[in-house]
Structure 1
Amino acid sequence: MSGEFSLIDKYFAHQQQQRKDVILAQGDDCAIVAPAQNSHIAISTDMLVSGTHFLADANPAHIAHKALASNISDLAAMGASPAWVSMGIALPNVDDAWLEVFTTTFFKLADYYGIQLIGGDTTKGPLSITLTVQGTLPEGKGLTRSGAKVGDWIYVTGTLGDAKAGLDVILQQRMSDDVALNEHLVEQHFISTPRVLSGMALRDIASSAIDISDGLVSDLGHILARSDVGARIDVAELPISPALTAFLQQEDERQYYALTSGEEYELCFTVPETNRGQLEVALSNTPFRCIGRITGTRDLELHRNNIPLDWNVSGFDHFKVTV
């Protein structure tokens, strides 16, 4: 058996119980799956590259979690239930200790979300991981970016800004005197929680949704562009964690981080006035907050307690930011 197939057989094949809707997984030219009747399939592909998304010496457990969780978050934003994933991975060399940690974390997270690795490819090269995830959802129920209407309320789940603070620590651009706080923020940068159940619960409530991967201002901007609307955001309502409050002393800075932090993988979604009352029940196990409202201006307006803010903010750009 060649080195490539030996590596696949040792670390990637036969690591999970087979889902009932998987007819054929690894070992052939294609995988074969059988989605349920009256369901659609949501598909997303994402790539993580050493030097852009993580340092080469980053913890392989962190890399594995970030790779899979960020892709599952795309399914969550569509209201889809995770089902299948394919992986392409390039490795500079076969490092058994690295692969053991990486695959253990990957399959633990995959099993938690019920998503099965059904195929992929390995090759020699600079370290990078490309995943294609697929999920299922009832016909016509997928959340999109194009449904926001004037008057809808804008919400986000969780808290925002920690991932950017964690990146500061990783790059040693800013550090706290509190070592434990630094370690927590680094973990927050890598270890996100895809809001799968929240996305599914929002299918009949939200008018649009997106996951926050490139920063709130950028990702909300995609909703505004696709829906041909504008938004008014109150930065005083942005949800900020105690950790970020301890890390950054100035309120303006904390709010700026919450607006621009990439790789948060929380959900940003819009809800019509008539559906707002359903949120408390639908998201009973998920923290969420209203941060603004959709307008007809086609612009993103920032204010704090009705005082306009002239802030020049932009999100995360993978062609400009590296780690």
Structure 2
Amino acid sequence: MSLGEFELIERYFMRPARRAALGVGDDCALLQPRPGMQLATSADLLLEGRHFLSTVAPERLGHKALAVNLSDLAACGAEPLGFLLSLALPAAEPDWLERFARGLFALADAHGCELVGGDTTRGPLAIHVTVFGEVPAGRALLRSGARAGDDLYVSGTLGDARLALEAWRGRVALSGEAFEATRVAMEQPQPRVTLGVALRGIASSAIDLSDGLVGDLGHVLRRSGAGATLQADALPRSAWLAAQPPEVQRLCTLAGGDDYELLFTAAPAQREAVQAAAAATGVPVTRIGTIEAEPGLRAVDAQGRPVPLALSAFDHFRP
């Protein structure tokens, strides 16, 4: 069955506006943040073969397309409002569209984030989402707030998405159970929105981990004019990753990418508040290092010995 562009939109993506003043169906959507709130916005483009495998289930792809954007709101401490979706599709296949929309809206509904507009066209599979949120004026979490003496934290566990990718590339061996478990981390990350909101007024800086811990922490350090020492052996990892050789563990946790966990800093006086925020949101956090005045990033193992950091973050324009 062949679908036209407007039938495609109406059948799979048209929903009544709830929080938006005006949603899908006009030239523009209208969003109204609450009094005293600032609008937070972010955008991500996902390309087949670059950001996701051609074998990914449509439900998981719909989930991830929105999740990576919600993760940016989480890093800002913002609450979701709505999003725009633009799709390039090689063909309008009803089964694929129904499954993609199911995964997309399941995550959107879980976070009260409604689709308010977008665009569709024919072309190689590409998904572009722009997300909007709100945060109290002057209380957004930024990359630039880390100060010497602050504790460095990360949420959840690191490295499973990269481990799944390495298994898919044939570079590591995983059992079927382990591959499926780590593949969920790669294809269906969970944005830490509730934790980001809970950390407002507690964390001094934050960033979401999309391109790898070393690289993303580097962004915080540059914006904050600071340095840091990482406890490399303290980085939280799953049992699947902990069973791998040390060099694989270091690669996946330090430079893995696609984790979409929160990396944040907070003063030592805020340790109880950090743990209370983690407990209240059901998201575990781990203290993994210290912000320092001396510029640069250093890492040590459990015995205090230096760990080489000859690893870099993912960069779309580097080979």
**Alignment-derived partner of residue 211 in structure 1:** 208
Query: AA paired with 2:278?
Result: L
CA shift, 1:252, in A, is 3.7
In structure 2, the residue matched to 1:110 is: 108
Does structure 2 conserve the Cα–Cα contact (< 8 Å) formed by 1:4 and 1:123? yes
- Cα displacement string for residues 154-181 of structure 1 (whole angstroms, at most 9, x for unaligned residues): 00000101010111233333332x2111
What does residue 173 of structure 1 align with?
A: 171
Structure 1 position 19 matched with structure 2 position 14: no
Contact 2:76–2:206 (8 Å) recurs in 1: yes
Q: Partner residue of 2:265?
A: 270
Partner amino acid, structure 2, of 1:295: E
Who is 2:252 aligned against? 257
Query: Which residue identity is paired with 1:289?
Result: T
Corresponding residue number in structure 2 for 1:196: 193
Deviations 1:195-220 (A, max 9, x none): 11110111110100000000000110
- Separation in structure 2 between the aligned mates of residue 13 and residue 173 of structure 1, nearest angstrom: 43
Q: Does 1:133 align with 2:131?
A: yes
Give the alignment of 1:71-90 within 5 angstroms.
71-90=69-88
Q: In 1, Cα distance between the equivalents of 2:247 and 2:56?
A: 31
Aligned equivalent of 1:230: 227
Q: Distance in 1 between matches of 2:48 and 2:211?
A: 18
8 Å Cα contact 1:158-1:286 kept in structure 2:
yes
2: distance between equivalents of 1:310 and 1:282?
Answer: 33
Aligned-partner Cα distance in 2 for 1:310–1:220: 16
Secondary structure of residue in 2 paired with 1:132:
strand
In the alignment, is residue 6 of structure 1 matched against residue 36 of structure 2?
no
Kindly provide the CA deviation profile for residues 224-268 of structure 1, in whole angstroms up to 9, marking residues without a partner as x.
Answer: 00001001011011111112123x1x2342133101110100000
Per-residue Cα deviation, 1:181-201 (whole angstroms, up to 9, x for no partner) = 111111111111111111011
Contact 1:169 1:185 in 2 (8 A): no
> Once the two structures are superposed, what CA deviation does each residue of 1:108-164 show, in whole Å capped at 9, x if it has no partner?
111011100000000001100000001111111100000001111100000101010
Residue type at the aligned position of 1:278: A
Taking the aligned partners of 2:150 and 2:76, their CA distance within structure 1 comes to: 18
Distance in 1 between residues matched to 2:74 and 2:223, nearest whole Å = 19
Aligned to 1:161: 159
- What count of residue pairs does the alignment treat as equivalent? 314
Identify unmatched segments of 5+ residues in structure 1: none
**Does the CA contact (< 8 Å) of 1:169 and 1:186 recur in 2?**
no
Find the aligned partners of 2:17 and 2:22 in 1 and give their Cα distance.
9
| Amino acid corresponding to residue 249 of structure 2 in structure 1 | R
- CA separation in 1, counterparts of 2:317 and 2:176? 31
**Structure-2 separation of matches of 1:212 and 1:307:** 25
Asked if 1 retains the 8 angstrom alpha-carbon contact of 2:74 and 2:191, the reply is yes
Please report the RMSD computed on the Cα atoms of aligned residues, expressed in angstroms: 1.4
The residue type equivalent to 2:261 in the other structure is E
Identify the match of residue 185 of structure 1 among 182, 194, 198: 182
Tell me the TM-score normalized by structure 2.
0.95
In structure 2, stretches of 5+ residues that fail to align are none
Hey, what's the Cα distance between the residues in 2 that align with 1:318 and 1:56? 19
Q: Which residue of 2 aligns with 1:290?
A: 287
CA contact (8 A) 2:298 2:309 kept: no
SS at match of 2:110: helix
CA contact (8 A) 2:56 2:187 kept: no
Q: Distance in 2 between matches of 1:185 and 1:172?
A: 14
Instruction: Give TM-score scaled by structure 1 length.
Output: 0.94
What secondary structure sits across from 2:171 in the alignment? Answer: coil
Task: Say which is worse superposed, 33-42 or 304-313, in terms of deviation.
Answer: 304-313
Kindly report structure 1 stretches of 4+ aligned residues shifted beyond 4 Å: none
Structure 1 residue 320 displacement after superposition: 4.8
> Quick one: distance in 1 between partners of 2:237 and 2:41?
31
3-state SS, counterpart of residue 111 of structure 1: helix
* Mean Cα deviation higher: 303-312 or 43-52: 303-312
Q: Aligned to 1:6, what secondary structure does the other structure show?
A: helix
Within 2, Cα distance between the matches of 1:282 and 1:318? 34
More deviation in 77-86 or 296-305? 296-305
Residue 279 (structure 1) aligned with residue 274 (structure 2): yes
Aligned with residue 150 of structure 2, among 145, 152, 156: 152
What's the secondary structure of 1:24's corresponding residue? coil
Counterpart CA distance in 2 for 1:10 and 1:59 is 20
Q: Deviations over 1:29-82 (max 9, x none)?
A: 100121110001110000100110112332111211111111100000000011
Q: Which amino acid aligns with 1:274?
A: A
